[in-house]
């Protein structure tokens, strides 16, 4: 997965009894059991070749990569929302059935009330890719998120954030006409610039959604002005 070095390979199958938290409601446990055939921890980035980041907001000493074999890919969204909250470390989850696959990402930080808990601030589920059939979109996705293409390896959070934002751009490239141009720009060496681009794209997507729901011309005009401003800011990065 993502051309990760062999030293990070794990390939450990997770027993279902360890995989389903005991404190979940019975109906949620049943839904998981009915949806998931198996779970494998495929890779784990540990050690300090990519430095850990431990401070008041982060305790990122490992990045994990999982594969969930599903009965039906339609269950991926439910499982992604659930397990990105359960798994405390930054992680990438590949969900697949016999025909299709999607990838799940989430940005996390430590809870300010309880440092043993995490808060998920952002989630991303990619477009659906075919498992077997050739796909240009899937090839581009795997190439852009390949470990040897991740520029910022200052620490594990920076590494994961770059993967996340690259995945976001590829999944939401229709939001901004030149979105994919950022994949080739030198923004990736600066975490601040990466977040600046990401937040502008998020705001642009939200405002475009609001325009579709706006009921008055004045509201639409105000939103369109904000959209033009955001596009101009993106154009100038």
pLDDT tens by residue, 86-102:
999 999 999 999 999 99
Q: Rounded to 10 degrees, what is the CA torsion of 139, 143, 144, 145?
A: 110
pLDDT at 220: 93
> pLDDT class for 232, splitting at 50, 70, 90?
very high
Cβ atoms of residues 106 and 124 within 8 Å: yes
pLDDT at 17: 87
> pLDDT class for 133, splitting at 50, 70, 90?
confident
Calculate the CA 50 to chain-centre distance. 19
pLDDT above 90 for 222:
yes
Q: State pLDDT tens for residues 148-199.
A: 999 999 999 999 999 999 999 999 999 999 999 999 999 999 999 999 999 9
- What lies within 8 Å, CB to CB, of 227 at 6+ separation is 204, 207, 208, 211
- Give me 70's structure tokens: 């599903």
Work out the average pLDDT over 120-124. Answer: 98
Work out the average pLDDT over 117-121. Answer: 96
The backbone torsions φ and ψ at residue 75, rounded to the nearest 5 degrees and listed phi first, read: -85, -5
Cβ atoms of residues 35 and 79 within 8 Å: yes
CA distances from 224 to 39, 42, 232 (A): 45, 45, 12
Work out the average pLDDT over 126-143. Answer: 95
pLDDT above 90 for 115:
no
Please tell me the pTM assigned to this model: 0.95
Q: State pLDDT tens for residues 50-87.
A: 999 999 999 999 999 999 999 999 999 999 999 999 99
- Work out the mean pLDDT of the chain and round it to a whole number: 96
Cβ atoms of residues 141 and 94 within 8 Å: no
Work out the average pLDDT over 106-113. Answer: 95
pLDDT at 39: 98
d(CA 78, CA 86): 13
Sign of CA dihedral 163, 52, 90, 123: negative
Calculate the CA 60 to chain-centre distance. 16
In our burial notation (b when 16+ CB lie closer than 10 A, e otherwise), range 102-111 reads bbbbbbbebe
pLDDT at 79: 98
pLDDT at 13: 97
């Amino acid at each position: 997965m993502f051309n990760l070095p062999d030293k990070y390979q794990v390939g450990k199958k997770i027993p279902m009894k360890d995989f389903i938290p005991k404190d979940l409601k019975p109906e949620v446990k049943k839904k998981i059991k009915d949806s998931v055939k198996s779970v494998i921890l495929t890779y784990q980035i540990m050690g300090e070749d990519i430095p850990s980041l431990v401070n008041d907001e982060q305790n990122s000493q490992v990045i994990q990569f999982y594969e969930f074999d599903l009965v039906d890919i339609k269950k991926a969204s439910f499982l992604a929302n659930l397990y990105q909250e359960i798994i405390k470390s930054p992680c990438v989850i590949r969900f697949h059935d016999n025909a299709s696959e999607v990838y799940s990402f989430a940005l996390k930080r430590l809870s300010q009330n309880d440092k043993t808990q995490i808060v998920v601030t952002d989630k991303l589920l990619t477009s659906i890719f075919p498992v077997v059939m050739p796909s240009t979109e899937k090839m581009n996705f795997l190439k852009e998120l390949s470990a040897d293409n991740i520029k910022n390896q200052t620490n594990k959070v920076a590494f994961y954030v770059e993967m996340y934002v690259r995945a976001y751009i590829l999944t939401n490239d229709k939001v901004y006409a030149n979105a994919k141009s950022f994949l080739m720009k030198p923004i990736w060496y600066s975490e601040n610039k990466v977040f600046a681009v990401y937040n502008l794209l998020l705001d642009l997507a939200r405002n475009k959604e609001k325009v579709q729901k706006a009921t008055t011309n004045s509201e639409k005009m105000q939103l369109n002005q904000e959209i033009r401003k955001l596009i101009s800011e993106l154009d100038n990065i």
